[in-house]
Structure 1
Amino acid sequence: MFRIGAVILAGGQARRMGGGDKTLLTLGDQPMLAAVIKVLDVPAVAISANGDPARFARFGLPVLPDGMFAGEGPLAGVLAGLNWAASVGMTALLTVPGDTPFLPEGLAKRLVPAPRCAASGGRRHHLVSLWPVACRKHLSQILSVPGRRDVASFAALIGMRYIDFPVRSPDPFANVNTPDDLAQARSILGGLYNTPPGID
């Protein structure tokens, strides 16, 4: 039986957005991060981010820094999440980027059993994955020595499997990386809110 926790990866530097925490930018009347939290169907959720954790205090969730692996990219956030998940008795960890506001509901259940990753339209979304907590020692060893740091390579090492999600609009795995992406996401969200009942 899988006991699943989730970590939202919110540690990117948002260079294409002009810096700052893009997960705290608003979509409608709420931060983008709130939209991500809302769809997570697991009992325990944390945020992976460096810097002052107080900026996320409104969400009431643990904030996990990268610690000794700060600067090593998203795998450092995955490891921080795996270590946290182990500490709260979870056996699997769902990771999702904090800039994907249209994630599908029921994501964790769709990805069981771990290791399993979402794919759509011929693309693999390696940061939308269910990781076995047991892989954390292997990941720590990899980050402790010079070498590749890309998520896809580590996924291959642990035998990641892939499940295809249907392509739809809005793209459930679209990232908000630029001001244009943000404007488009806000436009999509406004359209969803303004759709008459019974039409989708």
Structure 2
Amino acid sequence: MPPLTSEQRKQIAAVILAGGRGRRMGGRDKGLLPLAGRPMAAHVLQRLSPQVGRVLISANRHRDDYAALGADVVSDALADFQGPLAGVSAALACAGAPLLLTAPCDAPLLPGDLAERLYRTLQADTAAGAAAAHDGTRRHPVCALLRRERHADLEAYLASGGRKVGEWLNRIQCVDVDFSDCPSAFRNVNDADELAALAAELNAAPRRTGS
């Protein structure tokens, strides 16, 4: 299947969701934690930038540090860290594209064709409001492509007290996209031990390649 054209990529904006409290990281801003010499969010940015027309970073702390990575930064309209959907809503409000690709800041190994595969599935299913990655075992609801026209529904869901990403995706009819050929690409770094383990693997990878 051919890659997306430049015009198709322009139809997609992406948002890296880095607006959480970082509880599992002792309150540290997860997206700014170093991984192989760069902030973790920088790895996600590098993965997504070639796939879309524009990348935003959703951040509620350290906005200048995130802006220094080379993306526009948007903060939640809702106060007190209301979860990833608050960041998605803020990004939908200013993305300027009919489609929004969402990704967490703690998934630095995302597929290089994430946007393409989600886009083609969503374009083929005009009734669906979103397409989400499925690794063969489970859906990754924060790795999804959303139609901007569903923003009003998201605002209503948030206003009603809803905060669950999966619940809202089901509400707008989400279709799963098969990524069972690369499940490790959706690996999340949830705590300090996982961050150290991934850093060790990335640092060792060049030596394995050259051996």
> Given the two structures, how large is their TM-score scaled by the length of structure 2?
0.85
Q: Note the residue ranges of structure 2 that are not aligned, 5 or more in a row.
A: 1-6, 123-128
- Answer with 135-144 or 47-56: which moved more: 47-56
CA contact (8 A) 1:8 1:47 kept: yes
Query: Which residue number in structure 2 is paired with residue 32 of structure 1?
Result: 40
Residue 92 (structure 1) aligned with residue 99 (structure 2)? yes
Equivalent residues of 1:69, 1:143 under 8 A apart: no
Partner in structure 1 of residue 150 of structure 2: 135
Contact 1:75/1:150, CA 8 A, preserved across alignment:
yes
Q: Distance in 1 between matches of 2:20 and 2:207?
A: 31
Tell me how far 1:121 sits from its aligned partner: 3.3
Q: Deviation at 1:52?
A: 4.0
Which residue, out of 38, 44, 57, partners 2:54?
44
CA distance in 2, matches of 1:22, 1:193: 25
Cα distance in 2 for residues equivalent to 1:52 and 1:186 = 23
Query: Displacement of 1:196 after TM fit?
Result: 2.4
Give the match for residue 165 of structure 1: 179
Deviations 1:129-186 (A, max 9, x none): 000000001111111123x3101110001110001212547x1111111111101110
- Kept in 2, the 8 Å contact 1:7–1:81? The answer is yes
Q: Is the 8 A contact 2:99 2:147 kept in 1?
A: yes
Question: What does residue 193 of structure 1 align with?
Answer: 206
Say if 2:76 and 2:86, in contact at 8 Å, map to a contact too: yes
Q: Which segments of 5 or more consecutive residues in structure 1 lack a partner in the other structure?
A: none
Higher mean displacement: 122-131 or 106-115:
106-115
Task: Specify whether residues 141 and 188 from structure 1 end up closer, same or farther in structure 2 by C-alpha distance, changes over 3 A only.
Answer: same
User: Is contact 1:39–1:106 with CA below 8 Å preserved after alignment?
Assistant: no
Seen in structure 2, the aligned counterparts of structure 1 residues 168 and 116 have a Cα distance that, compared at 3 Å, is: closer
What does residue 145 of structure 1 align with?
A: 160
Q: Is the 8 A contact 2:16 2:57 kept in 1?
A: yes
Which structure shows the higher helix fraction? 2
Q: Which amino acid aligns with 2:169?
A: A
- Corresponding letter in the other structure for 1:96: A
Q: Helix, strand or coil: the match of 1:116? A: strand
Q: How many Å apart are 1:69 and its aligned residue?
A: 5.3
Q: What amino acid sits opposite 2:195 in the alignment? A: L
Number of paired residues? Answer: 193
Deviation at 1:68, TM superposition (A): 3.0
Aligned 8 A contact 2:20 2:60 in 1: no
Return the offset for 1:71: 2.9
State percent identity of aligned pairs: 39
Partner Cα distance (1:195, 1:50) in 2: 39
Please tell me whether residue 78 in structure 1 is matched to residue 88 in structure 2: yes
Identify the range of structure 1 (63-72 vs 149-158) with the bigger mean alpha-carbon deviation. Answer: 63-72
SS of residue paired to 1:194: helix
Match of 1:107? 114
CA distance in 1, matches of 2:182, 2:175: 22
Tell me the equivalent position of 2:28.
20
Give the RMSD, CA atoms, in angstroms.
1.8
Match of 2:70 in 1: 60
The answer on whether the counterparts of 1:118 and 1:165 sit within 8 Å (CA) in structure 2 is yes
Higher mean C-alpha deviation, range 176-185 or range 188-197: 188-197
